[in-house]
Amino acid sequence: MTSDDSTSQTNTTQSLLRHAVSVARDCHANAIFVYSDALENQQIELDADHDCRLIYITKSSADNHRLSNHRQRYIRVPDVNLSRFGQVKIAMFLALSSNLIQRDDTVVCLTGSSEKHSIDTLFVTKVGDEFDSMAAIGTSEYLPEGVSAEVIDRIVAIAAELGSEGREGKAVGALFVIGDAERVVSLSKQLIINPFRGYSGEERNVLDPALEETVKELSTIDGAFILRGDGIIETCGAYLKTSLRDEEEYSLPRGLGARHHSAAGVTAVTNSVAVAVSESTGTVTIFANGKIVTELEKLRAGTPR
């Protein structure tokens, strides 16, 4: 990169950061999303009278210590290659599940390249437009009762890594069902001996980083993981016996396989959230109430980060 290119990128970043505040004020935005991994030392300064929440998107928690202002929050997204829109989509989902934003909120989004440390994209969206399926589910009732946003965050991160990297160089598909575990188990048939049986809840909680490799390894087995809302894994390798009576009622796109139909079916009849990983495309799809909430597509070769 030449010095002229570097200067141009720096100027673009500074200009977008500066104008984002005025754009947010003009459109009465409720929040500004900033992909902080594309920044070096630059920050957005909000006026004291500007009633807008600043939410940083990051792949690590390294920036958390400096977000001391009560109007600043951060959303940690999976550490996988994401397109610019993918960065915002997953952050929007996680922000909704954590009640950092609400349905019908207007959000100004700033994103760019972490490799070049530059912000190059600004767009404005309203929760209910590009993210209409999320908004339709609600806000405070967005996650089923008893389902932790932290658990959803963890499962989405594991699913995104599986979709992006596969397992030992091979593509894998997976299905995770979180919440209403007793009811979900009653609607399933065990395909293998339950490998989590006999372990304490602490030893089989997906929030324990030591369990990550075990979960990824067991994802190669056919069937679903069934988890309690607090992250404790009840079983894996479970065949879900639910099915949709009328697939059109749930607006499932054509071409989705049995794993996705099972995800839609089980969330339609239980108080759960399902996260499916497509073996063929690596796309991560999140379901609730029998519907697709959002999708996180694997970054294709040649797509700008």
Number of separate helices (H) and strands (E) present in the chain: 7, 12
Burial class (CB in 10 A: 0-12, 13-18, 19+), 127: buried
Tens-digit pLDDT profile for the chain (305 aa)?
A: 555 566 777 788 888 888 888 899 999 999 999 888 888 766 677 665 667 888 888 887 544 444 445 457 888 888 777 777 777 888 888 888 888 888 889 999 988 888 888 888 898 988 865 554 444 444 434 578 889 988 998 999 999 999 988 888 888 999 999 999 999 999 999 999 999 999 999 999 999 999 999 999 999 899 999 999 999 999 999 999 876 554 445 566 666 788 999 999 999 999 999 999 999 888 899 998 888 888 888 655 444 44
Three-state SS letters, 158-183: HHHHHHHHCECCECCCEEEEECCHHH
DSSP per residue over 25-71, as a string? HHTT-SEEEEEGGG-SS------TT---EEEEEESSSTTGGG--STT
Do residues 76 and 60 make contact, with C-beta atoms less than 8 angstroms apart? yes
Name the nearest CA neighbour of 221 among 287, 260, 173, 253. 173
**Residue 271: helix, strand or coil by DSSP?**
coil
